[in-house]
Copies of this chain bind each other. A is one copy, B any other.
Amino acid sequence: MYRVDNEDLNEQVYRRLREMIVHRELQPDQKLLQEELATQLGVSRTPLLSAFAKLEREMLVKSVPRRGYFVRSITLKELLDIYEIRLRLETLGASEAARKCDNSVLEALMEKTDHMISLDAEMLKAKFPEYDYEFHTLIMKMSGNEFLVSMVGSFNLVTLGNITGMYRDPRGSLFEHKSILGAVSSRDCELAESAMYSHISVAKSRIEQYSKDRLHEAEER
């Protein structure tokens, strides 16, 4: 019999570091001092290095040989590149989710979305990022394609850690989520796909707009 619960230090350290990066406890471009981090996490450098290797392939850190590991900072171009990919992958996921839709998961997600809508502005702003990550992950899970889950998952993590300050009012997102869920529950693949497409397009335009504004600001000074 296998022990599925078993989680080695590698994995724990990996998860914790990932969290620290996404939550900005570790700043972009910050050098990851191995001894310091190891002490802080109460482990040796060995599991840390394996965690770094994973995070590297997930674009959350970068390695400069003989210089160490650094939190990877994402440029605007890269962020848009990621959205271009999410546009392709998450539409696929939504379409497949509609095909294979599991009602129990779907209902729970609908309830959660309604619950979010009922929150007041401040509370919503605080809880939205986590919820948003969960929403997108669950849709991908419904698709039954594990690769989608893992890829979209890491893109969303990168996104999460990098769009601080460019968030729009989350309420709009929530209504978009509801239409996606509606399309999925009615098993309409094409509708689900297009609902997801516009949802992500909106977010992408928002980022483009934000970057244009910042450029403008810079010019005016």
Contacts and interface: CB of A to CB of B under 8 A. Distances in A.
Interface of A: 2-3, 6-8, 10-11, 46, 49-54, 56-59, 63-66, 78, 81-82, 84-85, 88-89, 91-92, 96, 145-148, 151, 155
Contacts of A46: 46, 49
B8 A65 contact: yes
B81 A92 contact: no
Contacts of A151: 85, 151
Nearest to A5: B65
User: Chain A: interface secondary structure?
Assistant: helix
Given A66-B8, A89-B89, A84 B145 contact: yes
A96 B81 CA distance: 11
- Copy number in this complex? 2
Contacts of A51: 53
24 contacts: A2-B64, A3-B66, A7-B65, A8-B65, A10-B63, A11-B65, A46-B46, A49-B49, A50-B50, A50-B53, A53-B53, A53-B54, A54-B56, A54-B57, A57-B57, A57-B58, A81-B146, A81-B147, A82-B147, A85-B89, A85-B151, A88-B91, A147-B155, A151-B151
A85 B49 contact: no
B81 A85 contact: no
A34 to B, nearest CB: 13
5 A-B pairs with the lowest CB-CB distances in the bound complex, closest first: A53-B53, A88-B88, A50-B53, A57-B57, A6-B65
Contacts of A91: 88
Contacts of A59: 147
Given A49-B50, A50-B49, A85 B6 contact: no
